[in-house]
Amino acid sequence: MGNWEENVRKVVPYVPGEQPKMDNLIKLNTNENPYPPSPKVLEAKLDMSRLKLYPDPAADMLVSAIADYHGVDKSRVFVGVGSDDVLAMSFMSFFNSDKAILFPDVTYSFYDVWADMLHIPYKTVPLDEDYRIRPEDYKCGNGGVIFPNPNAPTGISLPLESVREIIEANRDVVVIVDEAYVDFGGETALPLTDEYDNLLVVRTFSKSRSMAGIRIGYAIGQEKLIKYLSDVKYSYNSYTMNMPSIILGTASIADEEYFREQVAKVVATRERTTKALEELGFKVLPSKANFVFASHKEKPAKEIFTAARERGIILRYFDRPRTDDFLRITIGTDEEMDSFIEFLKDFV
Amino acid sequence: MGNWEENVRKVVPYVPGEQPKMDNLIKLNTNENPYPPSPKVLEAKLDMSRLKLYPDPAADMLVSAIADYHGVDKSRVFVGVGSDDVLAMSFMSFFNSDKAILFPDVTYSFYDVWADMLHIPYKTVPLDEDYRIRPEDYKCGNGGVIFPNPNAPTGISLPLESVREIIEANRDVVVIVDEAYVDFGGETALPLTDEYDNLLVVRTFSKSRSMAGIRIGYAIGQEKLIKYLSDVKYSYNSYTMNMPSIILGTASIADEEYFREQVAKVVATRERTTKALEELGFKVLPSKANFVFASHKEKPAKEIFTAARERGIILRYFDRPRTDDFLRITIGTDEEMDSFIEFLKDFV
């Protein structure tokens, strides 16, 4: 090891869900939306000659569209390169206490990665035996709170009054509610941002807007919170949102009808899939997301995962305590889910 | 101030060069390329329906194109959202010493911003009286070294042997050479990455490739250095390069002929502009970049800046010690520079 390596930040990198390059794959492993983005996105015109210019650092067109959509002032909206960028920047901006930040033991697997990388102390809070977040567990002194709602990979949604209870108990730190999946049936905490200056709600275009490939995430909070976040962002990289993101993201927001339709389709398929899984002997956690988290009475999850893969069906399996009996199954099209259920009928 | 604000990272944000929304503007303030990207970029087909999927986190197509272009293995290439992203990530990865990192007193204005934000101690090293980097000034103990070559906003290029001298004297830390402008006539340190495992060379698509709007930067170093950087990147945000970036960046690399032609045009215009400025009483630092840094014998730079703005010509003025007599003038088209020179003939 050269001496220069002594001062290198050494991390155990996050391993993203696999993106296998096989044909005829049924890809139910990364919670992508099975439907394409809005026709307004597909037909949007990008003037590539404009690429010679820097994009608007404030991404004003996109920020204004998001602000109008949610009925808030644009000073209350922050955009980033996917919600991962927004969340990582939020960790960096808001979690600078010596006290541990809190998040569930079973949750989005990036939270501990960011905490480790940024040297932020953290403590995981066990979900209850039904895999639910208990607000009373978040009432001890801490350096900040973050949780997804609905939670991932459980899919379980926390009622708004419980979210409020957590915020009320943590007025001295920033509370981040990661609403990546909320459009599929959860209750949003956005209205609470009017009341609480320490609440940040984070959203993404990757799930309900079928635009994982464009990398857009955003956060909404009170102006002061957004200003702190923007200051850190501008100190890091002023121009993160490229021209195609700004144009195509704005086009997506403009098509509410298509958005509602395809979200409703995913939700209907989720309900149908849940029923079919239950009939096959699965326990399925009650999901308000675009995936279900399911455990079979007899067959070990890992075996199902491996057998499915051999049939070209890719699921997500988390080989960790409390989750190693479960499979996380992204909701695809009806046809994809039918193929998956057919496979299960053979296998279990 | 709410108690939650105590643990907020407070920074003085970087202020990017203005992007005024006026018509008929001659925009010579942010070192953009006046020519559009390659026709291969303009005509590239983007299949927007693919946006529903996450992009390849390794951006393999783009990374491979860059690796082939420079004749290195793809394990030696790192890509990010503009060179600002690559550089900020490099600061975070490599500059973790208690000793101060070193960079010139007159240089890219983001270095001290990143150091402040990431709590990295730093010391600025004065350029000599001719605004040149002196290798001997970088031979004291430090936590890392970074400089642009050509330097900005001076445009002055450091000979390769001087770059080597700096690296040789700093084998115990990481040395970053920021080659944002090198294609316009500088000497690249890329060949030295074969010899030195602590050298990172950073490039951008924003200047010579006319693609500031797409946000692509990259770094080349030995595999071990790139692996450390990638680990931090994957711990921060796995999917930073969106689908349009990957496709359009690859298309740009494929068109070497156009690339050389338009770079040659910018260089020719720079030389012509330099001569015209000198004839009008300007001292022009010898530039190997797509801008010139010039100071008039009599007229204060700030006055010229303000008068030019009134005529719709936007320049960059840095109101700081050692640079407040200068204007940074981006090289536009011949027509744009003619208009600028006409304005100066009236004014000075």
Per DSSP, B28 falls in state: -
DSSP type of residue A149: S
Residues in Cβ contact with A343 at an 8 Å cutoff, skipping those fewer than 6 apart: A307, A308, A311, A313
CA pseudo-torsion sign B142, B143, B144, B147: negative
How close is the nearest chain A Cα to the Cα of B279, in Å?
30
Mean pLDDT value of segment A308-330: 96
Distance CA A169, CA A172 (A): 9
Using an 8 Å CB-CB cutoff, list chain B residues near A96: 7-9
Q: What percent of chain A has pLDDT over 70?
A: 98
CA distance A279 to A344: 11
Confidence at residue A12, expressed as pLDDT on a 0 to 100 scale: 82
Cβ count within 10 A of residue A15: 11
What is the value of ipTM here, to two decimals?
Answer: 0.96
Out of B9, B49, B206, closest to residue A92 by CB: B9
Strands (E), A122-276: 122-125, 145-148, 175-178, 199-204, 217-220
- The packing angle between helices B243-253 and A243-253, to 10°, is 150
Sign of the C-alpha dihedral computed for residues B297, B303, B309 and B310 taken in this order:
negative
Average pLDDT over residues A53-59: 95
pLDDT of the residue at B217: 98
Q: What is the pLDDT of residue A263?
A: 98
- Contacts with A127 (C-beta within 8 Å, 6 or more apart), sequence order: A104, A105, A106, A133, A134, A151, A154, A322
Q: What percent of chain A has pLDDT over 90?
A: 93
> How near does any CA of chain A get to the CA of B58, in Å?
10
CB-based contact A242 B144, cutoff 8 Å: no
Q: What percent of chain B has pLDDT over 90?
A: 93
Which among A35, A230, A235 has CB closest to B52?
Answer: A35
Average pLDDT, whole number, for chain A? 96
Q: Which of A124, A94, A120 is nearest to A107 (CA)?
A: A124
- pLDDT at position A38: 98
Mutate to test the interface with A, among B31, B83, B236, B241 (most CBs of A within 10 A): B236
Q: Inter-chain contact A171–B211, Cβ cutoff 8 Å?
A: no
The pLDDT of A197-222, averaged and rounded, is 98
**C-beta atoms of A36 and B19 within 8 A:** no
The pLDDT of residue A14: 73
Look up tokens 């499979």; give the residue: A327
Q: Is the pLDDT of residue A1 over 80?
A: no
Q: Return the number of CB contacts < 8 Å for A and B.
A: 278
Beta bridge partners, B188, equal none
Per-residue pLDDT at B127: 98
Say how far apart CA B318 and CA B15 lie, in whole Å: 12
> Cα-flanking dihedrals φ and ψ of residue A338, to 5°?
-60, -45
Give A35's contacts in chain B (Cβ within 8 Å): 52
Answer yes or no: do B240 and A81 touch at CB < 8 A.
yes
Structure confidence at residue A24 (pLDDT): 82
Backbone φ and ψ for A321, nearest 5 degrees, come out as: -55, 140
Nearest to A102 by CA among A143, A66, A52: A143
- Residue A97 and residue B4: Cα distance in Å, rounded? 10
Amino acid letter, residue B239: Y
Mean pLDDT, residues A301-328 taken together: 96
Distance from the Cα of A187 to chain B's closest Cα (Å) equals 24
Q: What is the spatial distance between Cα A288 and Cα A291, in angstroms, rounded to a whole number?
A: 8
| Cα-Cα-Cα-Cα dihedral sign, residues A250, A149, A78, B63 | negative
Give the number of other CB atoms < 10 A from CB of residue A39: 12
Would the pLDDT of A18 be above 70? no
Per-residue pLDDT tens digits of chain B, which is 348 residues long: 578 899 999 888 777 666 676 778 999 999 999 999 999 999 999 999 999 999 999 999 999 999 999 999 999 999 999 999 999 999 999 999 999 999 999 999 999 999 999 999 999 999 999 999 999 999 999 999 999 999 999 999 999 999 999 999 999 999 999 999 999 999 999 999 999 999 999 999 999 999 999 999 999 999 999 999 999 999 989 899 999 999 999 999 999 999 999 999 999 999 999 999 999 999 999 999 999 999 999 999 999 999 999 999 999 999 999 999 999 999 999 999 999 999 999 998
Of B13, B46, B243, the CB nearest to A231: B13
Contact A32 B44 (CB under 8 A): no
The stretch A51-67 carries a mean pLDDT of: 97
Of residues A7, A33, A235, nearest to B96 (C-beta):
A7
φ, ψ of residue B289 in degrees (nearest 5)? -120, -170
